[in-house]
Chain A
Amino acid sequence: GQNIDQPTEMTATEGAIVQINCTYQTSGFNGLFWYQQHAGEAPTFLSYNVLDGLEEKGRFSSFLSRSKGYSYLLLKELQMKDSASYLCAVPAGANNLFFGTGTRLTVIP
């Protein structure tokens, strides 16, 4: 089976850096996804990591450690529009994506 743990809520200041952690347990690892979801909107794809290390994409970076069952999403130069839920997800077999409960990030001025 799969299990994902993420903090429920985080608050950070505009212009700052925030790290959102995700720990997972899965039978057979096939990568880890991060999605962003604004309130009442669809999740949008941010990143996919399958190898250890940090992948940078503009202001957003995602890190994976397979041996520790751990990933984080790093958001730099925070903007107000980054206020959203950030969902960590792992494949649970073909066609099946298992989502964590998400971390609700609030960016304050």
Chain B
Amino acid sequence: DTEVTQTPKHLVMGMTNKKSLKCEQHMGHRAMYWYKQKAKKPPELMFVYSYEKLSINESVPSRFSPECPNSSLLNLHLHALQPEDSALYLCASSQAGGAVEETQYFGPGTRLLVL
């Protein structure tokens, strides 16, 4: 299994809603990532978990809350989002999370629209 899966594929939410994005991989990877990508822009790193511990938080607002229940699963909890948070949210994983040259494998993304 060389796939990173993400659910849901699309999500529409109001600014007062609470929702969660889910990501799963079964490649035995120990690092997992959340990226945000706006249209025609490159992915921007939000969070990195390495061995289920948060290792990088790129100054993301607290309305985004990551969770890594185990080495295969990564969640992103959303609360009180703003319309400008509408974007494609990409999950990725890599083997061990310690080497700079590791290849990251991306999921198909969740397209989020905040109204």
**Cβ 8 A contact of B101, one of A44, A91, A99:** A91
Q: Which of B62-70, B72-80, B103-111 contacts A (4 or more CB under 8 A)?
A: B103-111
Name A's interface SS: loop
**Cβ 8 A contact of B107, one of A30, A42, A48, A50:** A42
CB distance from B46 to the nearest CB of A (A): 11
* Residues on the A chain within 8 Å of B98, using CB: 94-95
Instruction: Indicate if the CB atoms of B33 and A102 lie closer than 8 Å.
Output: no
* Residues on the B chain within 8 Å of A94, using CB: 55, 97-100
Our count of residue pairs bridging A and B at CB distance below 8 angstroms stands at 59
**Cβ 8 A contact of A96, one of B41, B48, B90:** B48
Instruction: Indicate if the CB atoms of A95 and B42 lie closer than 8 Å.
Output: no
* Residues on the A chain within 8 Å of B50, using CB: 95
Instruction: Indicate if the CB atoms of B42 and A42 lie closer than 8 Å.
Output: no
Interface size on B, residues (CB 8 A): 29
Interface size on A, residues (CB 8 A): 24
Instruction: Indicate if the CB atoms of A91 and B100 lie closer than 8 Å.
Output: yes
Instruction: Indicate if the CB atoms of B104 and A42 lie closer than 8 Å.
Output: no
CB distance from A1 to the nearest CB of B (A): 14
A21 at the interface (CB under 8 A from B): no
A97 at the interface (CB under 8 A from B): yes
A-B contact pairs, 25 of them (CB 8 A): A31-B100, A33-B103, A42-B90, A42-B106, A42-B109, A43-B90, A43-B106, A45-B103, A45-B104, A45-B105, A48-B101, A48-B103, A87-B43, A91-B100, A93-B100, A94-B99, A94-B100, A95-B31, A95-B50, A95-B55, A95-B98, A96-B48, A96-B56, A99-B44, A104-B40
Binding site for B on A (CB under 8 A): 30-31, 33, 40-45, 48, 50, 87, 89, 91, 93-97, 99-102, 104
Q: List the 5 closest A-B pairs by CB distance, nearest first.
A: A99-B42, A42-B106, A91-B100, A30-B100, A95-B48
